[in-house]
Homo-oligomer: A and B are copies of this chain.
C-alpha cells in the first residue's frame, strides 16, 4: 500500500506497466497484446500545478492515464467554471474526444501530476489488433456516462450537507479501491473547486465542513483530509433529504 498517491518518487516509473494496470480492467490483456500496447504508450514530463493536460478545442492526441497527481476536467459557461470531474491515479481521461477527435473540455493538473498517454489516433487498426482494448475503451466511456448521471442525481436531489458528504465519501471509496490510505489522505482540491463541482459556494462548503468538524466526522485542513467517522459520512451521503 502506497502511503501517498501524490508521491512521485515512490511510484513505479515503468510507464507501460502503469498503462497496463489501468487498461487491464475488466478483462486482462493477453501477453501478446502487451508489446503492441507498449508501442502506443507515450511518456510525458510531469505537469506542475495549474498546467493544462489539454484544452477544449485541442486536437485529440491520446487518452491519458494518471500515474500520480490529480486532474480536473471542466468547461467554462459564460465565464463561470463547471467542473465535470476529478481524475485520480489509475483514472483514464479523454475518451469523450475519441469520436470528434477534439477535446471538448479543459483538463488541468491540480498538483504535481504524472501521466502516460495512450495513442489511439488510429483506432480502427488498433481494434483489429487488440480487440480487448476496445472493451476497455467502452468500459471507460460507460463509467463516464454513469458518473455523469450520478453527478446529476447529486446536483438535483441532495442538500449541501449531503453533497459534501457524498463527495468526500466517494473520494474515500476511490482511494480505498485503489489500495491507498483512505482515512487520511492528501487532497489537492481547493474547497472552492469542490464547491464548483457540487454547485455550491465556497462559503457554504466552509460552513458544512465546520459543521462536520464540530461533529467529529472529519476535517480537511491544508489539503489533508482526516476521516474520523466514515459511517456517519456514508449515512449522511445516502440518507433521504426528508
Contacts and interface: CB of A to CB of B under 8 A. Distances in A.
Contact of A138 (B137, B152, B157): B137
B75 A138 contact: no
The contact size tier of chain A is 35 or more
A1 interface: no
B131 A75 contact: no
B155 A152 contact: yes
Interface in A54-97: 75, 77-80, 82, 84, 95-96
B80 A138 contact: no
A149 B149 contact: no
Nearest to A82: B153
A223 to B, nearest CB: 25
A74 to B, nearest CB: 10
Interface stretch (A11-19, A32-40, A98-106): A98-106
Contacts of A155: 152, 155-156, 199
Contacts of A152: 82, 84, 148, 151-152, 155
A138 B134 CA distance: 10
Contact of A148 (B123, B148, B199): B148
Contacts of A199: 155-156
Contacts of A127: 127, 131, 134
Given A99-B142, A142-B141, A199-B156, A149 B84 contact: yes
Nearest to A196: B156
Interface of A: 26, 75, 77-80, 82, 84, 95-96, 98-100, 104-105, 123-124, 127-128, 131, 134-135, 137-139, 141-142, 144-146, 148-149, 151-153, 155-157, 199, 240-241
